[in-house]
């Protein structure tokens, strides 16, 4: 499997991985959710090489995850803003943060705490079933072939 074929796989995980499945992209998205928007700001907070940052931002724009929006006419300058498609990545990022908090922490506790403005409390993200609202666990889920899979003949 080569990477240019990954986004055409009949697997939603593979397609997601084709877009955000590398380390720099995930870290760039973290910065986006922390309200970072400009090239220099990404570069200095991540210490990513300018070359790769440029390349990754282009890719995220190409996939519709970021929009490149002008904020100055002369000289022409742009900032990168999450689209709705990009904002929808939030559960992925939060799930990763939560797993890191739970399993990769050290004695100093958590780096960040999250407050839910709606209820005013510090919270953890929990993944639940859309139908019954119960917390989801891998062993309670059964997988069926969907229409795309059947059409692909597997």
Shortest separation between residue 78's beta carbon and DNA, angstroms: 5
Shortest separation between residue 47's beta carbon and DNA, angstroms: 7
Interatomic CA distance for residues 60 and 64, integer angstroms: 6
User: Toward a second copy, which CB reaches closer, 69 or 113?
Assistant: 113
103 binds a second copy (CB under 8 A): yes
Asked whether the beta carbons of 98 and 82 are under 8 A apart, the reply is no
Shortest separation between residue 20's beta carbon and a second copy, angstroms: 8
107 is written with which tokens? 């004695």
67 binds a second copy (CB under 8 A): no
User: Toward DNA, which CB reaches closer, 79 or 101?
Assistant: 79
User: Toward DNA, which CB reaches closer, 19 or 57?
Assistant: 57
Q: Out of 7, 12, 50, 149, name the contact with DNA by CB under 7 A.
A: 50
> What is the distance, to the nearest Å, from the Cα of residue 99 to the centroid of all Cα atoms in its chain?
14
CB atoms within 10 A of CB 123: 13
Q: Out of 40, 58, 71, 100, name the contact with a second copy by CB under 8 A.
A: 100
Nearest to residue 81, comparing CAs of 26, 43, 28, 18? Answer: 28
48 binds a second copy (CB under 8 A): yes
CB atoms within 10 A of CB 66: 24
7 binds DNA (CB under 7 A): no
Our CA dihedral for 129, 133, 137, 142, rounded to 10 degrees, sits at -40
63 binds DNA (CB under 7 A): no
């Amino acid at each position: 499997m080569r990477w240019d074929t990954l986004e055409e796989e009949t697997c939603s995980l593979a397609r997601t991985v084709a877009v955000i499945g590398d380390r720099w992209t995930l870290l760039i998205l973290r910065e986006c959710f922390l309200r970072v928007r400009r090239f220099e700001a990404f570069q200095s907070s991540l210490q990513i090489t300018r070359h790769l940052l440029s390349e990754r931002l282009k890719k995220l724009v190409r996939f519709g995850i970021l929009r490149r929006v002008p904020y100055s006419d002369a000289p022409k300058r742009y900032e990168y803003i999450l689209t709705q498609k990009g904002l929808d990545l939030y559960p992925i990022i939060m799930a990763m943060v939560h797993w890191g908090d739970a399993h990769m922490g050290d004695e100093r506790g958590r780096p960040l705490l999250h407050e839910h403005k709606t209820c005013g409390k510090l919270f953890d993200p929990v993944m639940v079933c859309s139908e019954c609202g119960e917390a989801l666990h891998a062993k309670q889920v059964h997988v069926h072939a969907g229409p795309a899979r059947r059409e692909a003949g597997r």
